[in-house]
Amino acid sequence: MPDFVNVTYGQTGESQKQNDMGMRAMQARAYSERGSQYLLVKAPPASGKSRALMFIGLDKLQNQGVRKVIVAVPERAIGASFQPTKLTEYGFYRDWEVEGQWNLCVAGGDAGKVGKFLAFMESDAQVLVCTHATLRFAYDKIGAEPFANCLLAVDEFHHASADADNRLGEVVRGLLDDGRTHIVAMTGSYFRGDSLPVLRPEDEEKFTRVSYTYYEQLNGYSYLKTLGIGYHFYRGRYLDAIMDVFDPDKKTIIHIPNVNAAESTKEKYDEVDRILSHLGEWQEADSTTGLHLVKHPSGKMLKVADLVEDDAKTRDCVMETLRNISSPDDVDIIIALGMAKEGFDWPYCEHALTVGYRGSLTEIIQIIGRATRDSPDKPHAQFTNLIAEPDTSADNVANAVNNMLKAIAASLLMEQVLAPNFKFKTRPSDDDLEGHAGIVDIDYTHSETTVAIKGFKEPSTPRVKQILESDLVDLTVSVMQDEKVLRAAMNPEEIAPEVVTQVFIPKVIEKKYPELTEQEVEEVRQHVVANATFKTSSDGGLPELNNNLIKMADKFINVQDLDIDLIDSINPFQLAYEIMSKSVDADVLKRIHGAITSKRIQMSEEEATALYPRIKAFNQTHNREPSLVAQDLMEKRMAEALEWLRNKKRERMRLQQSA
């Protein structure tokens, strides 16, 4: 099938080259900031975040007086990324060592592991690996005091949230408030797919940030040339359509839908059996590896790992096999439900085939990451989303897909995005064995999560209800990008938050919806404030905007505001259709990054003009343009000035063309 997006990379090999200490490009960039007490590393899967942490942690133990290193991962399987590693063989001065008893990412309940965690804190041992859950339970027992002068490394940091009820976020906030713990936060997707930030703005300001984008990583690979992103719409049941997009010659991870999803038949074991029967003639389940052996009609013997199976003994056997993969011949296909999405390393994987719409950008980017490892004889990586054809016009679907593609492209650049919300009803008889219709939610931001707030005014008119159901995310972003709100962000000491909530926000609403009455404006205002970020007064009264919204004003991009069309044409495909896209190459990714950045740049024409001679000199000296993700603040400002000037030039050209 044709791809919606096809990204071509340069194959420079730079991201895989090691320096004289055994560090790849991203690792060296992170290590250069090892002196920071709080370090936030935003880098894609396979860029080497785990080993970067090893280098940083060992330096803090050896040279910075830190007592202990505690590594927390979201699930046990990811703990294997932090197993003992011989770093001295590649030029580093010390090996990463984890004693067996202090690797808590093993089978067993959390209660016993919390006891071991507490024992570790009182021992002379230096390194411990545990799950987020074990960390949370241990912190509940001992608080922040024992973490003083220790390094806490949180992998997959997007599991944290600034929400007061997020328990991992509570641990991080507690340690930040205490001020004596070193923290390294690592993530391949620094956004949650909803309107909640990972960190409160005032907490994020404490971190030194190291960013390494998907483009930098993939462009520096040695073997991988292209990444394809495609959506395939179908009618009927996904089990009948899946072979249309499956290639048995490609190493593939298949994620079947959650049992609560519209596409699910509600019988996950039956779905696995049907997929196996589609693949060929089942032979046996290997007692040693736990893999299914299936003879494909071509004669090829396929080795299939089933991670849907709930039997703990069987699944642990399969997981052990997957942890010890050493060649492409070891496994051909993995069928999973909720596992193998993040932190799972299968370098030979070429195709991530996902059934059912994935509304979370975080989940999509993590799934894409399963296929984007560099590996010999692997020139192309593919992400395919197999979706029931929505019961709506092709134009609506094209618009939704185009916005999703823009959101994915922005996310691959490690940008925080807000995307619009779509709800499509699937066509009758889709996906249900009995022929019942389902609902496909196309919800990029999870903005429909219900939050009960005392004193809230319920919609009094159909118009207010319609705005809150359809336009709330877009309206929130309009508020964040309003000139007066941005001015408040630049002058937080001069403009009180209540001025923003009670004066600026109503003005934005009135301008966008001039037909609303004063009461309707107030009802919409309350929901906008709550949707962005709020604090509830001690008496349980109306939510009031705090400084967080002002500080968040430059954090988010609404993809609808990006004037980019990635759709080329729509063609029928058997009983459904596919959407063809224009090719997105390195230059387009760069322009998307520029378009995103230009939405947030606060700059005058005088400053941009004054910086231009310095930009030219920088280009001549370094033989490249200044970078928007540079650590050096002057270089970053020059890059912003250059993008500001380019954006103004584009605006002038558009005006000339329209005239």
CATH number at residue 196: 3.40.50.300
Identify the pLDDT of residue 197: 61
Are residue 240 and residue 193 in the same domain, yes or no? no
Q: What is the pLDDT of residue 489?
A: 58
Q: What is the mean pLDDT of residues 509-519?
A: 86
Q: Domain check: are 538 and 643 in the same one?
A: no
Say whether both 255 and 194 belong to one domain: no
Q: Is the dihedral of CA 114, 118, 124, 128 positive or negative?
A: positive
In this predicted model, which residue has the larger pLDDT, 189 or 572? 189
Q: Which residue has the higher pLDDT, 449 or 39?
A: 39
Sequence-distant (≥ 6) Cβ neighbours of residue 607 within 8 angstroms: 641
Strand, helix or coil for residue 441 = strand
How many CB atoms sit inside 10 A of residue 318's CB? Answer: 22
Same domain, 65 and 203: yes
> Are 212 and 293 contained in the same domain?
no
Instruction: Identify whether residues 205 and 244 lie together within a single domain.
Output: no
How confident is residue 550, by pLDDT bands cut at 50, 70 and 90? very low
Considering the domain architecture, whether residues 206 and 231 belong to the same structural domain is answered as: no
Inform me whether the pLDDT recorded for 57 exceeds 90.
yes
Q: Is the pLDDT of residue 55 over 70?
A: yes
568 domain residue, yes or no: no
Question: Domain boundary at 499, 530, 560, which?
Answer: 560
- Give the pLDDT score at 12: 55
The last residue of a domain, from among 388, 408, 438: 388
- For residues 504 and 637, membership in a common domain is answered with no
Contacts of 355 (CB under 8 A, 6+ apart): 238, 242, 254, 255, 256, 257, 263, 386
Other CB atoms within a 10 A radius of the CB of residue 426 amount to 22
**pLDDT band at 248; cut points 50, 70, 90:** confident
Domain membership flag for residue 596? no
Q: For residue 262, what are the domain limits?
A: 223-388
pLDDT of residue 319: 83
Q: Is 75 inside any structural domain?
A: yes
Interval 138-191: pLDDT, tens: 999 999 999 999 999 999 887 766 555 578 888 999 999 999 999 999 887 655
The strand pairing partners of 572, in sequence order, are: 577
CA dist 547 and 569 (Å) reads: 44
Other beta carbons within 10 angstroms of residue 445's beta carbon come to: 26
- pLDDT band for 116, please (50, 70, 90 cuts): very high
Say which range, 57-61, 114-118, 247-251, 396-400, has the weakest mean pLDDT: 396-400
**Stretch 609-616: mean pLDDT, rounded?**
91
Q: Specify burial of residue 541 (Cβ count, 10 A radius: 0-12, 13-18, 19+).
A: exposed
Q: Where are the alpha helices (DSSP H) in 186-339?
A: 201-204, 214-219, 238-241, 268-279, 312-323
Q: Is residue 532 part of a domain?
A: yes
- Check whether residue 150 and residue 291 sit in a common domain: no
Closest-CA residue to 229 (of 110, 401, 375): 401
Strand boundaries in 13-77, DSSP class E: 38-42, 69-73
User: Does a structural domain hold residue 203?
Assistant: yes
Q: Which has more pLDDT, 7 or 449?
A: 7
Residues 292 and 200 in one domain: no
Mean pLDDT, residues 375-395 taken together: 77
For the ranges 60-74, 186-200, 527-541, which has the lowest average pLDDT? 527-541
440 located within any domain? no
Number of domains forming the structure of the chain: 4
User: Residue 535 pLDDT > 70, yes or no?
Assistant: no
Q: CA–CA separation, 280 vs 278, rounded Å? A: 6
> Could you say which of 388, 416, 449 is where a domain stops?
388
Query: Does residue 441 surpass a pLDDT of 90?
Result: no
Helix (H/G/I), strand (E/B), else coil: 504: helix
Nearest Cα neighbor of 631 from 327, 246, 210, 47 is 210
Nearby residues of 365 by Cβ (< 8 Å), 6 or more positions away:
44, 188, 189, 408, 411, 412
Examine the domain organization and report whether 111 and 258 are in the same domain.
Answer: no
Tell whether 427 is covered by a domain.
no
CB-based contact 283:301 (threshold 8 Å): yes
What pairs with residue 255 in β-bridges? 336, 354
| pLDDT, mean of residues 262-279 | 86
pLDDT at 491: 59
Let me know if residue 396 belongs to a domain: no
Tell me which range, 279-288, 392-401, 587-596, is most confidently predicted by mean pLDDT. 279-288
The predicted pLDDT at position 157 comes to 82
Rounded Cα distance, 237 and 33, in Å: 51
Percent of the chain clearing pLDDT 90 (strictly above): 24
Check residue 410 and give its pLDDT: 65
Give the model's pLDDT for residue 149: 96
- Helices of type H across 220-267: 238-241
Encode pLDDT of 324-349 as tens digits.
888 999 999 999 886 655 556 788 99
Cβ-Cβ contacts under 8 Å for 624 (sequence gap 6 or more): none
Tell me the mean pLDDT in the region 57-81: 91
Alpha helices in 107-150 (DSSP H): 110-122, 132-142
Task: Read off the pTM.
Answer: 0.58
Q: Report pLDDT for 65.
A: 94
468 shares its domain with 344: no
Q: What gap in Å lies between CA 615 and CA 653, rounded to an integer?
A: 23
Q: Crossing angle of helices 394-412/361-371, nearest 10°?
A: 70
Q: Over the stretch 10-31, which tens digit does the pLDDT of each residue have? A: 555 555 678 899 998 889 999 9
Mean local confidence (pLDDT), 468-472: 71
Tokens representing 227 are 């990444």
In this predicted structure, the answer to whether residue 414 has a pLDDT above a threshold of 60 is no
Answer yes or no: are the C-beta atoms of 451 and 194 closer than 8 Å.
no
pLDDT at 51: 93
Distance CA 230, CA 122 (A): 52
